[in-house]
Amino acid sequence: AFHDPFAGGGAIPLEAQRLGLESYASDLNPVAVMINKAMIEIPPKFAGQKPVGPRPESDNQTKKSATSDAFEDWSGAKGLAEDVRRYGHWMREEAFRRIGHLYPRVKVTSEMVAERSDLKAYEGEELTVIAWLWARTVATPNPAYSGAHVPLIKSLALSTKKGRQAFLHPVVSGKEWSFKVKINEEPEIQSTVGRNGATCILSGSTIPLSYVRAEAKKGNLGERLIAIVCDTPKGRVYISPQADHEKPANLKKEVSNDIKIEHWAGCTNCVVYGFDYFSKLFTARQHNTLTSLSGLLAEAYTKIFNDSENHEYAKAITTYLAFAVDKVADYSSSFCGWIPKGETIRNTYGRQAIPMVWDFAESNPLALSTGSLFSGFSQAVKYLESFYNYYPIPNGYAEQADAAGQNISNNKVISSDPPYYDNVPYSNLSDFFYMWMRSGLREHYGNLFSTIAVPKMPEIVANQFRHGGKEEAHIFFVDGMKSAITTMRALGNPSFPITLYYAFKQSETVDDSTTSSGWDTFLTSIVESGYTITGTWPVRTERSSRTMSIGMNALASSIVLVCKNREVDAGEVSRRQFQRELRDEMPDALEAMIGGVTGQSPIAPVDLAQAAIGPGMAIYSKYEAVLNQDGTRMSVHDALVLINRAITEYLSPDSGSFDADTQFCSSWFEQYGWSHGQFGEADTLARAKGTSVDGVKAAGVAESGGGKVRLLRWNDYESDWDPTKDARTPVWEACHQMIRRLNNQGESAAGELLAKMP
């Protein structure tokens, strides 16, 4: 059997199950537990079962023939998937009857055609709206326009597709303003708000963000419809705002359940603008719609039970429908953006944060497009049909458990992807989904939804805002992770190694204390738990086209750490003995990795640098301790320095004992020369070399931004550089400063510079 004690989104437990293992998943977070129940626990229970729900009379999306079920193939989870489809259709039809009037269509009139010839093909038709685009507004501080609210819009582009571009054009008259949609005609301005502040559309005067923030905290931000997006067989159609489409959104918000947003600076910046409760993230129409959909889950359960006479089956289908509602929530907050390039809505969690959003897109949950209820349950159907299309399906189990105190791992194979130090506030962000899930499923999973919000204090993340500061948060993380890994080591099947994933950006270390976050900290937790680390393999796990990666410094790889139990009589060795073993054993290990031919490695340099750490860490961590000359224990950080030195001495024997920044530059140049490379690869290499991308950038030898990294050429370096005043001077920098001085000023000037170098 297999167990993942930090199951999270369930990728590892699912793959274990697909390999034929009995799979166990546990997590402290109830949302994560529910994801794993839906993925690995529920489908095997109902494998091969025929659907019980009646075929919808007008369901064009079921894609089933009119033949009887006797001739259908209900192997695997296909019957379960079909019932999710049928009851999802029923739920959507019920929602139409109750709240359909809140989501009107757009009738294309002759007046609209007179203004826009591109609408001629749709004259007289009623088009389905897939999104309403809104702008937040704030009272202008300009006294000449007292009382007027002005729009805060990040981009006036609606579509940037060639040949069918669409833009918002402002129409200003005194204190009044509005927008008209124009095709293939760019406006004079691109936006009304940015990083440096906003601009009053009436007067052109600057509005400081501090003013906007203060007004927002007072609850003084408004909302104004600026465009409507319709769907047609020929593509998206953009319509100027209409008054009769603004009215249905002007409702009274009915809040029955709410959770305060626990602020994490840099991740939940919405709080800075007064959005400090999750209910505030939704417009009145969105919140009331989600309340209605959550309420329909209880009715769906009753209907399914009456049809199946099986409580467990009714609970299972209701669970997938609850996920469909949560999917609607993700695409139905006022923090969803519109993507002009793709002409689609960006969900609330395009990345693991809730940043402030100025102009937002409100989806139509009753349509068939992205963010709709149909889209939500269709994704569940697609999953069940594609991942469980074989029989029999191995059993899976998911439950709530603290990784440090669980006993589920007993005699099981273990692989896990633990929390990444201080990178993601998992519990803070998942309350967004928990509040809606709890509303619909509390009666069926009482113990799991017994708390008002997701449990937070035991969560093993270095949250300085929760634990009273960076030092306290660091200690909490180290102790918690060490305890969790120690538990795994004590319980896991001793015949197998465990594998742990690590994937987050390395921060620059100042010393060996709490600022040595991330990589060193994680390795230390593993070693101190009694494991020997025998492999550190980079694996390409991150999709380059994901939102986090587009134009950003995002990761490219995860590091898979392979660990086995340390021998009980491991003992201690001296620093000198450790270095001797590195010299003796590293060459063979490196030869095996590079295929026996130095300089012709099948492994890219950025990956080889990381993979090569494994054999060195295997030597370091097989001992109870490596002792320095003064009798103190050698830290993981110091061990990595020596390991990297041994790697460099073998692969580049002429390099000497170069500093970490220079080793990074040398390996990066070997692969990319002066060209740009992906930030994720640079981060992997920098971590392996004992530095960081931010560090080499601060050293003045590389540039980093927009998801790319490039080494500076000699003529890019500072012309007035003084080595006596430079606190961080890699050999690489000194070399290229010498080249710059020699080329520009000659030998004498280069000699003078050399004389200044420490």
Which string of DSSP letters, residue by residue, matches 140-197? ---GGGTT-EEEE-S--EEE--TT--EEEEEEEETTEEEEEEEES---S-S-SEETTE
Supply 611's token pair.
Answer: 């993979």
pLDDT at 508 (0 to 100): 46
Helix (H, G, I), strand (E, B) or coil at 60: coil
pLDDT at 688 (0 to 100): 76
Q: For tokens 């102009």, what's the residue?
A: 359
Q: How many CA atoms within 13 Å lie on the side-chain side of 405?
A: 7
Among left, alpha and beta (phi > 0; psi -120 to 50; other), residue 721 is beta
Whether the upstream peptide bond of residue 392 has omega within 30° of 0, thus cis, is yes
Q: For tokens 């009915």, what's the residue?
A: 254
Residue 60 neighbours by CB under 8 Å, 6+ apart? none
Q: First and final CA of the chain: distance in angstroms?
A: 59
Q: How many CA atoms within 13 Å lie on the side-chain side of 22?
A: 7
Q: Provide the β-strand partners of residue 338.
A: 345
Supply 544's token pair.
Answer: 């380059």
Give dist(CA 489, CA 416) in Å, integer: 13
Sequence letter at residue 159: S
Q: How many C-beta atoms lie closer than 10 Å to residue 567's C-beta?
A: 11
Question: Which residue ranges of the chain lie beneath pLDDT 70?
Answer: 58-71, 388-391, 423, 503-518, 540-557, 595-606, 655-656
pLDDT at 426 (0 to 100): 85
Q: Are 414 and 564 in contact (CB under 8 A)?
A: no
What is the Rg, in whole angstroms, of the alpha carbon atoms belonging to the chain? Answer: 30
Four-CA torsion 692, 696, 702, 707, nearest 10 degrees: 20
With b for 16 or more beta-carbon neighbours within 10 A and e for fewer, the 166-183 pattern comes to: bbbbbeeeeeebbbbbbb
Q: Are 81 and 73 in contact (CB under 8 A)?
A: no
* pLDDT one-digit tens code per residue, 2-17: 999 999 999 999 999 9
Supply 363's token pair.
Answer: 């989806």
pLDDT at 717 (0 to 100): 92
Give dist(CA 714, CA 694) in Å, integer: 20
Q: Are 326 and 398 in contact (CB under 8 A)?
A: no
Q: How are beta strands 106-107 and 126-139 bridged, if at all?
A: antiparallel
Supply 703's token pair.
Answer: 């540039």
Residue 564: which H helix or E strand, with range?
strand 557-565
Percentages of the chain per state (helix, strand, coil), in multiples of 5: 40, 20, 40
Helix (H, G, I), strand (E, B) or coil at 399: strand
Residue 227: which H helix or E strand, with range?
strand 222-232
Helix (H, G, I), strand (E, B) or coil at 321: helix
Supply 620's token pair.
Answer: 């370091």
Q: How many C-beta atoms lie closer than 10 Å to residue 54's C-beta?
A: 11
Supply 437's token pair.
Answer: 């899930």
Supply 474's token pair.
Answer: 């660091």
Supply 228's token pair.
Answer: 């409507």
Residue 427 neighbours by CB under 8 Å, 6+ apart? 28, 29, 262, 454, 455, 456, 459
Q: Are 85 and 55 in contact (CB under 8 A)?
A: no
DSSP letter, residue 39: I
Give dist(CA 14, CA 283) in Å, integer: 36
| Length, in residues, of the chain | 758
Give dist(CA 203, CA 172) in Å, integer: 10
pLDDT at 542 (0 to 100): 55
Give dist(CA 466, CA 455) in Å, integer: 12
